[in-house]
Amino acid sequence: MNFEDFKLSEGTLRAIFKKGFEKPTLVQEKVIPILLNKETNLIVQAKTGTGKTASFGIPLVELLEPKKHVQAIILTPTRELALQVSEEINSLKRKKLKILPVYGGQSINLQIKHLKNGIDIVVGTPGRILDHIERKTLDISKVSYFILDEADEMLDMGFIEDVEKILKNTPQNKFFLMFSATIPQKIISLAKKYIKNYEVIKIVDKELTTKLTEQIYIEVNESNKLEALCRIIDLEENFYGLIFCRTKLEVDNVSNKLIERGYDAEALHGDFSQYQRERVLKKFKNKKSNILVATDVAARGLDIDGLTHVINYSVPLNPEYYVHRIGRTGRAGKEGIAITFVTPREYRQLFRIKKFSNAKIKEGKIPSVEQIIENKAQKIKEEILNAKIKVNDIYYKLAEELMENSDNKEIVAMLLSKAFKGLDPNSYEKITFTRKNSSSKVRLFIAKGRNTGMTKSSLIEFIVQNTSISRNVIQNVTILDKFSFITVPYKEAEIILSVFKKRGKRSIVSKAKAKN
Ligand code: AMP
């Protein structure tokens, strides 16, 4: 299925292709037609990373016309998600629709000013939205769409009362959509209470396993990815690898930059004609180029022997893609290595992949410049010592003359630097790793307290046992009667939240509710 099949307007299609999306994801295939045809209310079981935002974002930008009142309201459990969702919808629109993220922590007066100017789509956290409704600075009595994003998370965080209060301010006649990674009973109860007819769509991941030799993830910032990639390529003596990107744009971007830096890279994505595709593949299979940068869709069905690496430049959209991607190395008894770049925001996705694929994905590091240069130097040494070149007498004579009056070491060094490039540390960029979110530690709420006999050390033990995170990152442990709190760095919080997220059940760990 293609985006063209939805019969979208030209403007929307252009926006989608500008984003570099090639094909609709599973959730988009199912949800977009239903929303476009205004068929029914929906409960959609889909996780973040499946393309769910665009599955409602595309129909919204297609169907809504700019008006001076709020036509759609989207509730999210966190301010990060509110921002993400509003950015995604903004990037999909071609009309003069106004979209506003509204969340706690941002100046309320500024939000009021924007709201007064007339907004079409409001995306926000429940607390702040309710605040605006109560101040009468936000009127949602004419919305046509009410969307709950990450509904299970929202209920876990105790927002149910707020959500119900907000719902009471919406008209009877509207579309109600819920997106949720799990569908526990309380979501069904909420739906039954407020919507008469609805359909449930489940996007279920199939279980798959992999037989890959070595799987590694490396934490990087978006801005360091290219440098990290170059270093990995340089470290390997005979790099022969597939680099996976999420979109066509990214494929073009990465392959062009690699070529600029002197690599033999080729690109492959859905815009290529059959002829171009065959040409690229032939070149790659014959090792005329040793790097192929591709999208998941373009690489479907590829079968290439002897790859040394598969690199996930972007974390794949769904765990299934991961298994497909890395299934391409380690074939035919040869060892392969799969490396996944993970930005701090994507830890949760990585964790899902680990669970889904049953894979052991170990943490790795970006190779250091010293390491690469040392490797290259060793290689040059071996090459020279093992070289079996018959040297003409004239060269011997020239060598004698050169060495007569000069420092031998200097002469050899000069010749080496002329003959072998790439030993200059300055040809590498510095990687200054700053984790955008890492300084912000996360306070977690644990629904277990002193009344179950828990102590500080037993709580730490419990977390460490279940998640294998290091105990010394757990700080500020507070044990109260019925519940407790801990503070951990961003990355570990993502891991803990994923581990304790039980399908269909209330998780005993959640982000502590911030004053919204
Ligand atoms: P979401 O599940 O909405 O958080 O989306 C995850 C990421 O996938 C976002 O960065 C989207 O821009 C991207 N995305 C959504 N749909 C597609 C698609 N059809 N093809 C490629 N990327 C997509």
Ligand 1 within 6 A of 47 CB? no
Q: What is the pTM of this model?
A: 0.56
Atom 16 (ligand 1): residue with closest C-alpha? 51
3-state SS, residue 403: helix
Average pLDDT of the chain, as a whole number: 87
Report the pLDDT averaged over residues 245-265.
94
Which residue out of 3, 17, 21, 150 has the highest number of ligand 1 atoms within 8 Å of its CB and is therefore the one to mutate?
A: 21
- pLDDT tens figures, 160-169: 999 999 999 9
- pLDDT tens figures, 171-200: 999 999 999 988 888 899 998 898 889 999
Ligand 1 within 6 A of 57 CB? no
- The torsion angles phi and psi of 201, rounded to 5 degrees, stand at -115, 125
Quick one: 441-511 is in which CATH superfamily? RRM (RNA recognition motif) domain (3.30.70.330)
Place 230 in a pLDDT band, splitting at 50, 70 and 90: very high
Ligand 1 within 6 A of 6 CB? no
Q: Is 177 left (phi over 0), alpha (psi -120 to 50) or beta?
A: beta
Report the pLDDT averaged over residues 226-254.
93
Atom 13 (ligand 1): residue with closest C-alpha? 51
Å from CA of 381 to ligand 1 middle:
47
Ligand 1 within 6 A of 295 CB? no
Rounded Cα gap, residues 243 and 222, in angstroms:
15
Strand partners, 122: 73, 100
CATH of segment(s) 3-203: 3.40.50.300
Domain 223-366 part of CATH 3.40.50.300: yes
Report the pLDDT averaged over residues 457-467.
85
Residue 205 has pLDDT above 50, yes or no: no
Q: Where are the domains of the chain?
A: 3-203, 223-366, 378-427, 441-511
**441-511 and 223-366 share a CATH fold:** no
Least confident piece of the model among 67-71, 404-408, 443-447: 404-408
Q: What is the pLDDT of residue 425?
A: 82
- The torsion angles phi and psi of 216, rounded to 5 degrees, stand at -135, 145
CA dihedral 233, 239, 242, 246 (to 10 degrees): 0
- pLDDT tens figures, 93-112: 988 999 999 998 889 999 99
Q: What is the pLDDT of residue 22?
A: 83
Å from CA of 113 to ligand 1 middle:
31
Ligand 1 within 6 A of 348 CB? no
Strands (E), 106-186: 121-124, 145-148, 175-180
Q: Are strands 484-488 and 442-446 parallel, antiparallel or unpaired?
A: antiparallel
Q: What angle do CA 178, 180, 186 make, to 5 degrees?
A: 80
Place 46 in a pLDDT band, splitting at 50, 70 and 90: confident
Residue 86 has pLDDT above 70, yes or no: yes
Place 301 in a pLDDT band, splitting at 50, 70 and 90: low
| DSSP-assigned states of every residue in 92-115 | H--S---EEEE-TTS-HHHHHHHH
Residue 300 has pLDDT above 70, yes or no: yes
